[in-house]
Amino acid sequence: MDREPSQLPGPRIETLLVGCVASTGVNGAGMSLTSRAGSPEAVYGSDDVAGAVERLQVTLGEGPCIDSVTSGLPVLVDDLEGVRSAVADRWPVFALEARRLGVRALFAFPLRIGAISLGAVDLHRLAPGPLAADELSSALSVMDAVAESLLDVRTGYSGHDGGPTLSTPAIHQAAGRIMVQLGCSIEDALVRLRAAAFAEGVPIHALADAVVAGERRFQEDDR
């Protein structure tokens, strides 16, 4: 289940990110993923600037993307110059370099499912200004889909119909139960749940309900 470094894991994710650039009216999107060792790696940029924004942050170890991975929260910077002192205090070198690339606004979103931290996506604009409410809404929905797709890459299948699976509490409760049943990480537990639902052709929330109710258990030799 190891990711290849510096390689985008799957065409669906690129489609999602390119679509996100259009729907949020930004100039580019970049993504960094957390390696198993815990350090972020730059894996994608929709253009040269977006790629450079990712590499800069990963190399410097500072920037909105890094903060977003650490805190699990969106970090929305409307204007890298507007709040000069605050931004400079937080990311002194990055702020300077990003402005040199022409980036004026940067919006970082965590790819996170509860305690599972997968990485973060940066959306950048060459002009300052906040994301409008509908753009924010669109970005957040895409991030959910990207996080799910990253799990799918690990599960080894693709092209499922998506849907609001991650907003169902029972799925997360079931993942917690499976984590104990298998003695694995929460991430692997969720991957196993999704893989089992796919393999058995049942909706994931139905399988999750059965796990929560104790009617279905996972064992090491399940596949």
Partner 1 sequence: MNEPGATGRQPAVLSREALLAESFVVLADTLVDDYDVVDLLDRLVHACVDLLGIAEAGLMLVDQRGGLQLMASTSEAAHLMELFQVQSVEGGPCVEASRSGATVSVEDVAADSRWPRFSRAASAVGFSSTHAVPMRLRSETIGALNLFNREGPALSAADQRIARALADVATIGILQQRSLHRTSLLAEQLQSALSTRVVIEQAKGVLAEHGALGMDQAFSRLRDFARRRNLKLGAVAEAVVRRDVSPDEVLATYS
The residues of the shown chain that bind partner 1, judged by CB under 8 A, are 72-78, 83, 86, 110, 112-115, 130-131, 133, 136-137, 140-141, 144, 164, 166-167, 169, 172-181, 186, 212
Nearest distance from C-beta of residue 76 to partner 1, angstroms: 4
| Cα 117 to Cα 147: distance, rounded to the nearest angstrom | 9
| 3-state secondary structure (DSSP) of residue 58 | helix
* Residue 45 or 144 with smaller CB distance to partner 1: 144
Q: Which of 70, 67, 54 is nearest to 122 (CA)?
A: 54
Q: Which of 139, 163, 153, 188 is nearest to 29 (CA)?
A: 139
Residue with tokens 């000069």: 84
Nearest distance from C-beta of residue 72 to partner 1, angstroms: 6
Nearest distance from C-beta of residue 175 to partner 1, angstroms: 6
Q: Which of 222, 18, 21 is nearest to 126 (CA)?
A: 21
* Residue 104 or 112 with smaller CB distance to partner 1: 112
* Residue 52 or 121 with smaller CB distance to partner 1: 121
* Residue 47 or 78 with smaller CB distance to partner 1: 78
Q: What tokens appear for 115 in the block?
A: 């305690």
Nearest distance from C-beta of residue 71 to partner 1, angstroms: 8
| Cα 122 to Cα 99: distance, rounded to the nearest angstrom | 15
